[in-house]
Structure 1
């Protein structure tokens, strides 16, 4: 499908580096902190907003939205909303009651610097702002379409998505550690946000049912592959070598596909998922030329594999 002139102009002139900088600025500025905000909460929020991470979910959401003709401002609002939800989930995930992590993005976790209460309130502030941005992004749509979009959002953030996945993650030690149980947790905890990043902006741009089905399929295989790579990093990286606390899954009894089926088998699993994803991307590009950027995103998975320690991989395999 040929891009309309406005979308084509935006896509042609917006390289990855420029887009990332734009989204990082938006991430840091879309949640204003009042001067009278309590010191601990304000500090926790400032630190969180000024280390945004990879922004891969926001970039996906923005590019998909613009690719479907969504205005840049609305695409950005939805992208930052999704990134705020993701960041809030990390603040909760790092807490002592959850993963009890010490490090995130190369620095001490927010709760270790400003207290658990400040970390939880900062997460709630991000969630509150995310809903506001989400509402703005869909406000110009017909009421029926708004309802469908918000219902989709609630589905994948709520008890059938992220929240249930997180709870299963916390109580995984009670389950049989196998491929199926690790797969189920990843579907809730990881795939849910990738689904929002790929499918929600397409729905905002009134994509066809077939295209949304393909994007949903891609979200599943990419989300599972992403989680498998994250699990491999947890197993293969020595503590202190990664930007977040490593070697935690075995200690805490958390789902980890590499621990469940073995390291070599986990790499095979990633390759299988990448193959399924490549077939899906090809189908999507045939229907929507603007989604060609997905091939570049796919290459990031290869970079993640390459970043794993060669010496550790050799010993493991």
Structure 2
């Protein structure tokens, strides 16, 4: 698959996910809900709708597509994962965290509204993600839904993304070594990407070795994604990124790019893409879109 073909596939999946999110985040109440406050819903929709590549849900859907299982249930799981991702962005942008004013080329939620609205929007999205997966409307066997809930909780929580964010905040004063940086990045960024790839196999009821291959693929491109992010932070500008650039250097935060340099980082990205491709070998040409995703992660410009 060439670059234009991949970008078309990414945009098509993003449109499907956007429509699902719009439906899930509408005004209609679910059983057990009392009300959806209008102000809260505006802040949630600002943080979720109308932007982003939707890479994580794309990986859910394309991993499921390897087994012809990229239907409505996979789309709901993909949307749930995007809710977790968007919650993390809303909270990461807060003054107590990364203190960003811009996200996806627009004011961050706490700037467009206020800090309390941003906190509540993130809280709501995190809990809603598990609601979406556990709901019987996600037409998977109960055991599969329970496994997905457990895996997502562990990928997003203290041993995954949230723990990685804690390590990232501490990195400004602790100056971690290379092993510490890799662990931080595997948690903060890689855990959700690994979940995205493994979730598609779980949805499909794939064999254990197939689930593991996709999980390892997710780990490889998760590391590539964060390395590319650090490279962009060091070499790009805010207008191109749609968010502040140069923040790692300004904060004195150690990254693999600051440790080893830009040329090393680019060579390392090539190695991670090759590793990702090898992990997909058992799936043959069916995995060409995922191979293109690995290349995209490494060479993206925003």
Structure 1 residues 23 and 128, CA gap change in structure 2 (3 angstroms): same
Alignment of 1:145-164 (within 5 A): 145-164=144-163
Report the more deviating stretch, 132-141 or 189-198.
Answer: 132-141
- Cα distance per residue 1:292-316 (max 9 Å; x no partner): 3212323313541xx38xxxxxxxx
Q: Secondary structure at the match of 1:84?
A: helix
Structure 1 equivalent of residue 282 of structure 2 = 284
Displacement, 1:16?
Answer: 4.6
- Cα distance per residue 1:28-82 (max 9 Å; x no partner): 2211246975454233123223323101111111122233243611011100001
Give the TM-score of the pair, scaled to structure 2.
0.87
Whether the 8 Å CA contact 2:60–2:197 is kept in 1: the answer is yes
- Which entry has the higher C-alpha Rg, 1 or 2? 1
- Cα distance per residue 1:219-256 (max 9 Å; x no partner): 11100011001001111123444211111112224342
Q: Secondary structure at the match of 2:292?
A: helix
2:108 pairs with 1:99: no
Structure 2 equivalent of residue 236 of structure 1 = 235
Cα separation, 1, equivalents of 2:115 and 2:165: 18
Q: Secondary structure at the match of 1:148?
A: helix
Report the more deviating stretch, 263-272 or 253-262.
Answer: 253-262
Cα separation, 2, equivalents of 1:33 and 1:122: 15
Q: Secondary structure at the match of 2:100?
A: coil
CA RMSD after TM alignment: 2.3
Structure 1 residues 16 and 183, CA gap change in structure 2 (3 angstroms): closer
Q: Secondary structure at the match of 1:273?
A: helix
Give the TM-score of the pair, scaled to structure 1.
0.83
Structure 2 equivalent of residue 311 of structure 1 = none
Structure 2: tracts of 5 or more residues without a match: 1-7, 30-34
Structure 2 equivalent of residue 27 of structure 1 = 21
Structure 2 equivalent of residue 298 of structure 1 = 294
Cα separation, 2, equivalents of 1:179 and 1:123: 31
Cα separation, 1, equivalents of 2:175 and 2:13: 43
Q: Secondary structure at the match of 1:171?
A: helix
Displacement, 1:106?
Answer: 0.6
Structure 1: tracts of 5 or more residues without a match: 1-13, 309-317
Cα separation, 1, equivalents of 2:66 and 2:264: 36
2:226 pairs with 1:227: yes
Structure 2 equivalent of residue 199 of structure 1 = 198
Structure 2 equivalent of residue 83 of structure 1 = 82
Whether the 8 Å CA contact 2:270–2:298 is kept in 1: the answer is no
Structure 1 residues 39 and 146, CA gap change in structure 2 (3 angstroms): closer
- Cα distance per residue 1:148-179 (max 9 Å; x no partner): 33322222112211111111011112333432
Structure 1 residues 292 and 65, CA gap change in structure 2 (3 angstroms): same
Q: How many residues align?
A: 289
2:95 pairs with 1:70: no
